[in-house]
Structure formats: structure tokens, C-alpha cells
Structure 1
Amino acid sequence: MERQAFTPGIVLRDVTMNDLPIFFDQQLDPEANYMAAFTTKDPADKDAFMAHWTRILSDETSSIQTILFDGQVAGSVSKYIDEDEQPEVTYWIGKPYWSKGIATRALIAFLNHIKDRPLYARAAKDNIGSLRVLEKCGFLRIGEGKGFSHARGEEVEEFLLRLD
């Protein structure tokens, strides 16, 4: 059964196969990749992209929703189990939808349906927009880390955040 969440201008719904080409195009944007930092090695590899999405859509421990803004696919939001066996949230907003409050409203709607706590998130230290979204949604900075960023070709520092 498809679950939908609604907040003004925003609808969350189950991901459909028709969403994947839109997600693929959204993640090709160089500026978006730079901001996200921790992206795939080759965003233009459509086969790898489709294999990744097929794998995560079949993962029963994950919850993934398409974000619709005024009826258009604006991005996605999800919860998955990270490498430390912790529930982590992530989202991607297509660049045309940046700076409209969409990520914050979508994440709030998503968190209203995800009851796991604590929840974790991470963002590159210089990704001010994403950090603001997470903090507006109640996430607190709890630590720091670093990892190799394919999008930037170097190690990037990040903040680790938690929502209790």
C-alpha cells in the first residue's frame, strides 16, 4: 500500500520506476555533487545508478520516498541502516528546488512517519544548506568525521548529527 504524507506544497509518496530517470538527471549536476560531497565515483554511470536504486528499493530495512513539490518530482528522502548499524537519514533535492524550504518540509513530513530514534545524519561541514535543514528538523551535531569525496577528489570533513 502506498503511503503518502502531505505538508503544504509537498507530498511524499513511494518511489516509482518513473522517478528514477529524474533522480538520475538531478544527481548529474556538478554543483549538487560538490555540495553533497559523498556521492558515487561516476555519477554519469547510469547502469551503476540503476543497480544502486534497485538494491536500495528492495532493502526492507530502508524507507524511501519521492518528494513531490507542486506535483513535480523534486527529490527523495530516505532512512537506511549505515555501516555502523545505525538508522541514518539522507535526502537529495534537485537544484531547481533549492532554497524554497522543500528539503526542510519534506524531512519534517518524513520524520513524522519514521519512529526510529535516535536517527543519524551527516553533512559536509561546508554544506551550510543541508546543515540548516537538519538542525531545523531537530538534529544536533554530535561529532565530526571525514571521508573521501569523489565529487571533490579529496578528503572532506563532515559533521555527524543525531535526532533523539
Structure 2
Amino acid sequence: MTDTKLDIILRPTEIADLDTLFEIQLDKEGGYLAAFMPNDHTNKLAYLDKFTKLLNDPTVNNQTIIIDNKIVGSIAKFVMFGDNELTYWIDKQYWGKGIATKALKHFLYIETTRPIFGRVAFDNFGSQKVLEKCGFLKIGSDKGFASARQTEIEEFIYKLT
């Protein structure tokens, strides 16, 4: 059920946010749906090292999603193989409330780089819906090794121009 009354705040991610964001991304169901994760995603030191560096990378726009002064997720633009890519993660407790859609719409107002791509596992219907509600069009698919599933899967590629 969508709760449109939730006030979402996006702000640049800070080092102090990383502990909470690390815990959020440990969720097994979320990891399964995300599919393409670092092999060492449960290694907190590796996570903190990676994201501390990313916070200082001018090509990355990391934003923390906050509701009622509580961190509920993150959203970011990064560059991969020359393309602007999008990633987001919402705490499982907040799924189904329209938060990802609202956060992405707000993020796309802040992050104006276009085109921007979103990639999503073939069976992650929630994220597919989020991208489509925000104007992304499915332009193709690819196959890759999904470390969270330990197998190769299809991912759909979405694009916003």
C-alpha cells in the first residue's frame, strides 16, 4: 500500500550514515532482489572503505533517504563503463509504501545528468515498476553473474533521457 503522506528527505550521504546503510544492505531478501552485489557485501570494513572512497568521488552522487529523522535507504548515481548508472536500496520495513518512487523522483530533480541507466534483475518487479513510474524505458537486457544468487541471471536495462 502506498503512503503518499511520508515526507522524504534526500541529503548527501555522510560517513556517519554508512553504519546504518551497511546494516540495511545485509537483508537477504533485498540482496536476492538486488542480485548484483559485491562478493564481500557482509564485510563491514570492506563496505566502509569502498563507500568512504565513493563519498569523495566527484562522479558519484550519493544521497541518503530519510523519513522522520530515520535513515531508510540510499540512492546514487555513479559511472560504469562510461554510462551514468543509478542504484538505490530501501530498508525492507519500508517496502510497498511508494518510498523508492518518491525518492527517485526527487533524486532525478537533483541529479540532472542524462542519459541515466537503471539495471534490474528480471524478477525484481518492484524496482521495474519504480523505474517505469519515473519515466525510464526498458531498452534491452543483459546477462551477468549475480553474486547474491551465485548464478548468471538476466537483468533488464532501463534508460531515462
TM-score range, shorter chain: over 0.9
Superimposed CA distance per residue, residues 80-110 of structure 1 (whole angstroms, 9 cap, x where no aligned partner):
1112x01111111111111110000000000
Letter in 2 for 1:120: F
* Corresponding residue for residue 66 of structure 2: 68
State yes or no: 1:122 paired with 2:110. Answer: no
Unaligned runs of 5+ in 2: none
Tell me how far apart the structure 2 counterparts of residues 139 and 42 of structure 1 sit (CA, whole Å): 30
* Corresponding residue for residue 97 of structure 1: 94
Q: State the percentage of identical aligned residues.
A: 46
- Cα RMSD (Å) of the superposition? 1.2
Helix, strand or coil: the match of 2:140? strand
* Corresponding residue for residue 36 of structure 1: 34
Letter in 1 for 2:36: F
Superimposed CA distance per residue, residues 97-132 of structure 1 (whole angstroms, 9 cap, x where no aligned partner):
111100000000000111111111100010000000
TM-score (norm 1): 0.92
Tell me how far apart the structure 1 counterparts of residues 113 and 16 of structure 2 sit (CA, whole Å): 29
Shift of 1:64: 0.9
Greater displacement, 7-16 / 38-47: 7-16
* Corresponding residue for residue 17 of structure 2: 19
- Correspondence list, 1:127-142, <5 A: 127-142=124-139
Tell me how far apart the structure 1 counterparts of residues 69 and 154 of structure 2 sit (CA, whole Å): 36
Unaligned runs of 5+ in 1: 1-6
| Number of residue pairs the alignment of both structures matches | 157
Shift of 1:8: 5.0
Q: Which of 131, 141, 148 is residue 144 of structure 1 equivalent to? A: 141
Helix, strand or coil: the match of 2:107? helix
Superimposed CA distance per residue, residues 34-61 of structure 1 (whole angstroms, 9 cap, x where no aligned partner):
0000011132101110111012111101
Q: Which runs of 4+ in 1 moved over 4 A?
A: none
* Corresponding residue for residue 3 of structure 1: none
